[in-house]
């Protein structure tokens, strides 16, 4: 049980640990893989709990190690931690620098007390001594630094698959536009009027050769960019023709792909409520409420990676709909579900979505805000955040641009918040 709990800590807080190590070493550390093997450990340099020690494998041709291994021990740490929260807090016992390809590396992984390890590649050589200076930025400084990152890469904020394949798609571009209100930052491929939207710009990558237009991207496009109502209504009519036998909106505008996803349904509801036609999707609305009530989103959905995706887009629905009855039904329960996720870790995009969703219902998590501030890289951006995935293969699609835009939006929103009577700080 202890090992399983520690593995969960590793997975849930991997980015917080990245942040911790990045600050100590004064360098950029990028995640590549997460290993949680019961008997994996490093018999390198033993240290007292919560102290860092280093060991290098000598080599002539490669003087710097190219990977960072974080070893997590099984003992419960009684000291408070800003990054790994109760009920189970584990000691960070040893940090070892080594080259995974080295012949002796396997022999160094032998201590039975370990419950797991995280392996990272670095974008630059790691220093052999830890820096005691941890840069601290105010929210204002962080926002300015983040905006410079986006502006320097305007029009080039593409997405990528897990293997690094670059992906040009419309969905992230529309989200970046909505988060920043800066059309110069994004590159959007508009559909031919009156056609619905397609996720991809150009040919699909990493999936089937042909890819139909979808309700998700169409809903986002029609609620982000200005459209004439008659055109929108014609597209809404076409969406109504693609519902399941239970009346739930499907993901694709293609009867050969009868898939449903709760986040896609939320976005479809946002579109219909925006144009005064939300009452036409009662079955879809009821299903979304059931998903929220039963927490069916906790492990992500068919096309979305994290629980925060569902919570964020649901908060967007309530904001866009501006419907008292809808708020009365969903608002209090959504607030409870967001509080449940406070400090749950995740990548920068997940944390930013959680902060934004919380702000929409008057709740503020200092832990999440502080973690988000600390995760900002030296270049001003945040690491790749993963929002969606291919339903068939499960391959993740992420974006530094999207993660950075959402982080800026979340921090900007938190800066405007005050601890008033109508706000809950947790």
pLDDT truncated to tens, each residue of the chain (426 aa)?
A: 444 544 454 445 445 555 544 444 444 433 333 333 332 222 222 222 233 332 322 222 223 334 444 444 333 333 333 333 333 333 334 334 334 444 333 443 443 333 344 444 444 333 333 333 334 568 999 999 999 999 999 999 999 998 889 999 999 999 999 999 999 999 999 998 778 999 999 888 888 878 899 999 999 999 999 999 999 999 999 999 999 999 999 999 999 999 999 999 999 999 999 999 999 999 999 999 999 999 999 999 999 999 999 999 999 999 999 999 999 999 999 999 999 999 998 999 999 999 999 999 999 999 999 999 999 999 999 999 999 999 988 999 999 999 999 999 999 999 987 544 455 555
- Give the CA-trace dihedral at 399, 403, 405, 409, to 10 degrees: 160
Q: Answer yes or no: pTM beyond 0.85.
A: no
Query: Domains (ranges, CATH) in the chain?
Result: 2-122 (no CATH), 139-425 (1.50.10.20)
In 10 A of CB 391, how many CB atoms?
A: 15
The values of phi and psi at residue 30, to 5°, are -110, 130
The answer to whether residues 289 and 295 touch, using CB atoms and an 8 Å cutoff, is no
**For the residues of 334-369, what is the DSSP string, one character each?**
HHHHHHHTTT----HHHHHHHHHHHHHTTEE-HHHH
Chain centre distance of CA 221: 21
Q: Strand pairing of 114-122 and 67-76?
A: antiparallel
Q: How far apart are CA 159 and CA 115, in angstroms?
A: 34
CA-nearest of 12, 11, 18 to 374 is 18
């Amino acid at each position: 049980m202890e090992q399983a709990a520690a593995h969960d800590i590793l997975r849930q807080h991997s980015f917080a640990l990245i942040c911790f190590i990045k600050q100590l070493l004064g360098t950029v550390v990028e995640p590549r893989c997460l290993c949680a093997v019961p008997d994996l450990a490093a018999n390198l340099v033993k240290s007292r709990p919560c102290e860092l020690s280093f060991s290098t494998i000598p080599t002539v041709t490669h003087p710097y190690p190219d990977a960072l291994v974080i070893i997590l021990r099984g003992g419960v740490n009684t000291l408070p931690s800003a990054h790994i929260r109760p009920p189970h807090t584990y000691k960070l016992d040893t940090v070892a620098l080594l080259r995974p390809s080295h012949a002796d590396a396997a022999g160094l992984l032998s201590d039975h007390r370990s419950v797991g390890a995280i392996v990272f590649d670095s974008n630059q050589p790691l220093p052999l001594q830890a820096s005691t200076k941890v840069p601290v930025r105010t929210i204002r400084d962080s926002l300015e630094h983040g905006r410079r990152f986006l502006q320097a890469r305007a029009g080039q904020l593409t997405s990528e698959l897990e293997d690094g394949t670059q992906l040009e798609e419309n969905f992230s571009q529309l989200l970046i536009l909505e988060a920043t209100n800066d059309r110069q930052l994004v590159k959007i491929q508009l559909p031919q009027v009156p056609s619905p939207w397609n996720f991809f710009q150009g040919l699909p990558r990493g999936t089937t050769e042909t890819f139909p237009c979808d309700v998700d991207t169409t809903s986002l496009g029609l609620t982000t960019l200005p459209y004439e109502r008659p055109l929108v209504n014609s597209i809404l009519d076409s969406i109504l023709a693609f519902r399941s036998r239970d009346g739930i909106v499907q993901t694709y505008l293609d009867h050969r792909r009868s898939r449903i996803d709760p986040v896609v349904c939320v976005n479809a509801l946002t579109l219909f409520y925006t144009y005064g036609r939300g009452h036409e999707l009662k079955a879809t609305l009821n299903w979304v409420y059931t998903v929220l009530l039963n927490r069916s989103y906790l492990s992500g959905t068919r096309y979305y990676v994290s629980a925060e995706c569902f919570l964020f887009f649901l908060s967007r629905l309530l904001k866009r709909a501006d419907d008292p009855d809808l708020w009365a039904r969903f608002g209090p329960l959504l607030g409870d579900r967001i509080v449940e996720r406070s400090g749950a870790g995740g990548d920068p995009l997940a944390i930013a979505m959680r902060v934004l969703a919380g702000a929409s219902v008057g709740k503020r998590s200092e832990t999440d805000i502080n973690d988000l501030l600390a995760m900002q890289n030296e270049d001003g951006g945040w690491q790749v955040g993963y929002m969606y995935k291919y339903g068939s293969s499960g391959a993740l699609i992420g974006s530094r641009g999207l993660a950075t835009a959402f982080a800026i939006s979340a921090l900007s929103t938190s800066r405007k918040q005050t601890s008033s009577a109508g706000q809950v700080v947790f």
